[in-house]
Homo-oligomer: A and B are copies of this chain.
Amino acid sequence: MIIDCHGHYTTAPAEMEAWRKLQVQAIGHPGQAPSKASLRISDDQIRESLEGAQLKLQRGRGTDLTLFSPRASAMAHHVGDAETSRVWSELCNELVHRCCALYPDNFVGVCQLPQSPGVPPQTCVAELERCVKELGFVGCNLNPDPSGGYWKDAPLGDRWWYPLYEKLVELDVPAMVHVSTSCNPAFHTTGAHYLNADTTAFMQCLTSKLFQDFPTLKFVIPHGGGAVPYHWGRFRGLAQDLKLPPLKELLLDNVFFDTCVYHRPGIELLLKVVPVDNVLFASEMVGAVRGIDPETGHHYDDTRRYVDAIDLSESDRQKVFEGNARKVYARLRR
């Protein structure tokens, strides 16, 4: 079985975006905000949005189950206030839940959190709990920068985040550390902000006591860990200069990387330097890069091909494709 731990509902019916537009227009005019109930999307529309995209690609690529969350770039936690974010997150999560209910063998939910810049993460606990306990979700996406490219909130090691971590630990669900759209013109969203956030999050973990305080907390760093595996020697050396224990001891019980690296040499490097127990298969399809690589004739994001091409023992391959996901997303086992 192949579990893809990183997929977003990037193909939601246009009604979703139209609803969001109304919500954004109503910011500052609370009476005009659309109700959740006003969103009308039929099951057939959902089927259609998935059949020609994620499901087709799952079948074509021979992957089985996608851990499925709302579109990351559309989380846009910087828009409006915490209430805006609460309603939008609930709506996005409920739509993902419908996908999972329609295709329970193909999708398991991962939720968006109703974060808002400067607002204590405590406010996300209720939606996290609802998604896990009532909707059967197995994880969440945690945005380390709700400001959208201005990095105004506290680093992930700060106690600011602890109430949320307490709930993650209690529910036994991991967080994928995933930013949303960049509003900062310096950062291209998928070409810079996403990768920068991955690197930044890793270094925030490295320099904090987070996993001493939460020894069972688990983070998945997406996009192959940003720059981290490529600079694994730098990070080993930085930890050493800081008189910290080796990375394995310091954070590899808690930090995992996905395989969203869109060429074979990158995946080779990832699996060469990061212990195999810390790598989870993922593609992020249908996502940031949608084309076909002229050098291979296959989609850039068809990451299964890269993993297949690597010389791994069957036991290690099983870990990357399935076992590690079941270990990190503990509720998948249930």
Contacts and interface: CB of A to CB of B under 8 A. Distances in A.
A125 to B, nearest CB: 23
B203 A199 contact: no
Nearest to A195: B227
A187 interface: yes
A234 B231 CA distance: 17
B231 A262 contact: yes
A272 interface: yes
Interface in A220-235: 223-224, 226-227, 229-235
A237 B262 contact: yes
B233 A293 contact: yes
Interface of A is mostly: helix
Nearest to A240: B291
A289 B155 contact: no
Interface string A233-267: 11111101100000000000000000001111110
Contacts of A191: 199, 203, 206-207, 234-235, 238
Contacts of A238: 188, 190-191, 288-289
Interface in A181-226: 184-188, 190-192, 195-196, 199-200, 203-204, 206-207, 223-224, 226
Contact of A237 (B187, B268, B293): B293
A203 B182 CA distance: 13
A200 B195 CA distance: 9
A29 to B, nearest CB: 31
A163 B36 CA distance: 52
A68 interface: no
A185 B155 contact: yes
Q: How large is the interface on A (under 10, 10 to 19, 20 to 34, 35 or more residues)?
A: 35 or more
A147 to B, nearest CB: 10
A322 to B, nearest CB: 24
A151 B145 CA distance: 14
A227 B241 CA distance: 22
A117 to B, nearest CB: 12
A269 interface: yes
A99 to B, nearest CB: 24
12 contacts: A144-B186, A188-B238, A191-B235, A195-B231, A196-B227, A233-B264, A234-B261, A234-B289, A237-B289, A238-B288, A266-B269, A266-B273
Instruction: Identify the 10 closest CB pairs spanning chains A and B, nearest first.
Output: A233-B263, A237-B289, A230-B230, A227-B227, A233-B262, A196-B196, A151-B186, A237-B300, A191-B203, A192-B203
